[in-house]
Structure 1
């Protein structure tokens, strides 16, 4: 099983289709359940994945559609090898700043526990990270964002014993305008191997002007899958072990415009 850790804050947890605290229940075909896609539940049990993927994981507010299911369906082996499925490990929690994901903090340790449990059933292929809106609320947090996200990546790799573990981060689509570009600049400036960025800027937002719509989450999931397949997974998708590449972030950015060209 190909395992992917999904972490960050509310746009990773998913607020697509959530209006006035209620989810509309709309599940597009790209997010429909598939028996080859599992999720690790809050009780650390594998179950068929379905929206909302972060139900009972992000309990801060109502969850809706995130990028995880669309990512998983797009990342499934194209030749349908029944022995190769996707295991999703949802860990995101809305409203969290990156300091809350520091080693030793509750959220970080929960993520590590869930990742280690999942690793007993397959190989962790990548961490998908969408976070930073909370840090855009503070001048100091925005200024320190690059240092903090690089430390997070280094800590996760060290604690999982996977020094080349791929990270696919999402550059913010929204946030406090005062510091939004500062955080985005920090995200694009991360200088670590096997880190790539998918740019969410330009994707449509809910009426709150902060969270991605359901359709935007589908698009983002496909963009994340494209980035993952292009940079980190074998081209054959024949069930063999994937082969991560040594990729520099500075040269790899998947944008919404590029995704439209690819689709």
Structure 2
């Protein structure tokens, strides 16, 4: 019979969310295992070769500063100096390029201040069956051996495992069962039954990966038979690839941020707000040739971007405008990633490239023309390789059977810059490379049949205004909070008591929305929560500009 994990999952999670006050450096260690995207296939660039003072890499003997090198694989002539270069199971015929662990470690250190240790032991092309305990390949035993050797070094504590694998098993019906067995064995042999494990989806640029990516979400759903306690997953929405399977350099960097954000939420108690959507505010396109002085009315049609190199009459450029003031209204957000999503179709099955530019925001969708084009079409900020596939059933009812499978462009660094500048309005220009000979059509805000598919930016961030959540049994060493006690789980009234003064008490949803607030100004008090639905909430207690947070379960 399926166990009800709701309360036990919350209480066990609370036991993990203790934030220690460190007197000296403590190395928080993570084991990174899986297949080629964990091994790394991204090109290593100058920004990836900086030695990270707050992140260590285990080299088989000792810890060294985590740093990618400019080594080149002798046969493949691609980057071979990635963080998987010390793997004892690596395939020497395959390059070890940039993987996600570099930005993962950097972001964890930057946010927590803790020294981060990485033990990377992946192998490209491996199947989950080959990672089973006792399998002839020995991948499992090597992972256990390496992590134990690293943990024997002073000051090292295992905090979690990152598992990124699945391309070789995208159609394996028993995958989730085998993943559960793998995690059980790892936790048992490492003597950590509640060890956090974060797994990754695989590329969304292949339609045959869809079922795998959908199923992997089930491990976090305690109502599902596939639920595995103390696990989470990261999405691969919008990540670009080299070949529809292996993430490119920028895809790996963003993937690392996503892994780090999940660890910050799951292990260190930070509030991670995921997948906030900002829809397009204005959209238009301009045409070349004899149409260069005409404003194009989009209305209920689609925004078209077309490049045919042999005639300027065929040129179309797209323009998108977004209002991001709700994001930039506070300075207490750490942007994790931002992805522009466009959806539409092409007149033929193809793979196309789209360039995205940071353009001037003063244009109007009803007046802009090619001959009066706004500035900025030289400020390239991102690109997308977009794949189309057949849709014989015409699922979106637009009359086309060649549909957009994936249309994401990474805007993470661009949105970070705009956020820190406090920018309210941004505008993007779209076109295709000079030598392209194709067109594509994008659903717009005026396309009523596909309104939900209109261009939008998906943004995730750490909300640093909410302090890390502490365990309910933790004593807070300060003159303000000596021994906070909170009823948990709670029914209709939240009862709070303390040896010292309690100031303001606020309740937030798990996504960071403030729901209730009350000034206590005493050593005890209550807060009526009878009108809150059952679920998990964050309680923030503050006094004299000092805060602590707790997770509670509302029955």
Identify the TM-score tier after normalising by the shorter chain.
0.7 to 0.9
Q: Where do residues 38-187 of structure 1 align in structure 2 (5 Å cutoff)? A: 38-41=56-59, 43-51=60-68, 52-57=82-87, 58-60=90-92, 61-78=94-111, 80=113, 84-105=114-135, 106-121=138-153, 122-136=156-170, 139=171, 142-174=172-204, 177-178=207-208, 180-187=209-216
Which residue pairs with 1:246 in the alignment? none
Cα distance in 1 for residues equivalent to 2:276 and 2:239: 7
Separation of aligned partners in 2, 1:255 and 1:92: 29
C-alpha contact 2:56 2:118 (8 A) present in aligned 1: yes
CA distance, structure 1, for counterparts of residue 275 and residue 97 of structure 2: 23
Q: Conserved in 1, the CA contact under 8 Å of 2:86 and 2:121?
A: no
Alpha-carbon distance between aligned partners in 1 of 2:96 and 2:179, rounded to the nearest angstrom: 25
My pick for the range that moved more, 102-111 or 32-41, is 32-41
8 Å CA contact 1:202–1:256 kept in 2: the answer is no
Structure 1 position 234, deviation (Å): 4.7
SS at match of 2:167: coil
- Post-superposition offset of 1:196: 0.4
Q: 1:244: which partner in 2?
A: none
Q: Is the 8 A contact 1:38 1:46 kept in 2?
A: yes
Q: Which residue of the partner structure matches residue 188 of structure 1?
A: 217
Displacement after TM superposition at 1:116 (Å): 1.1
Note if 1:259 corresponds to 2:337. yes
- 2:263 matched residue in structure 1: 228
Corresponding residue for residue 3 of structure 1: 29
Cα distance in 1, alignment partners of residues 197 and 112 from structure 2 = 25
Q: 2:35, 2:164 within 8 Å by CA — same for their partners in 1?
A: yes
Is contact 2:274-2:460 (8 Å) kept?
A: no
Structure 1: gaps of 5 or more residues: 18-24, 236-251
C-alpha change, 1:231 and 1:69, in structure 2 (3 Å) is same
Question: 1:262, CA displacement in angstroms?
Answer: 3.3
Aligned residue-pair number: 229
**Larger Cα-atom Rg:** 2
User: Larger relative contact order (C-alpha < 8 A, sep ≥ 6)?
Assistant: 1
Q: Does 2:55 correspond to 1:26? A: no
1:157-176 per-position Cα deviation (integer Å, ceiling 9, x unaligned): 00100000000110111586
1:35 partnered with 2:88: no
**Offset at residue 74 of structure 1 (A):** 0.1
Q: In structure 2, do the counterparts of structure 1 residues 256 and 221 end up closer, same or farther at CA, with 3 Å as the change threshold?
A: farther
In the alignment, the residues of structure 2 paired with residue 146 and residue 107 of structure 1 have an alpha-carbon distance, to the nearest angstrom, of 19
1:212 equivalent to 2:410? Answer no
Normalization by structure 1: what TM-score? Answer: 0.80
1:133–1:175 CA contact under 8 A, matched in 2: no
The structure that is helix-richer by fraction is: 1
CA-based RMSD: 2.3
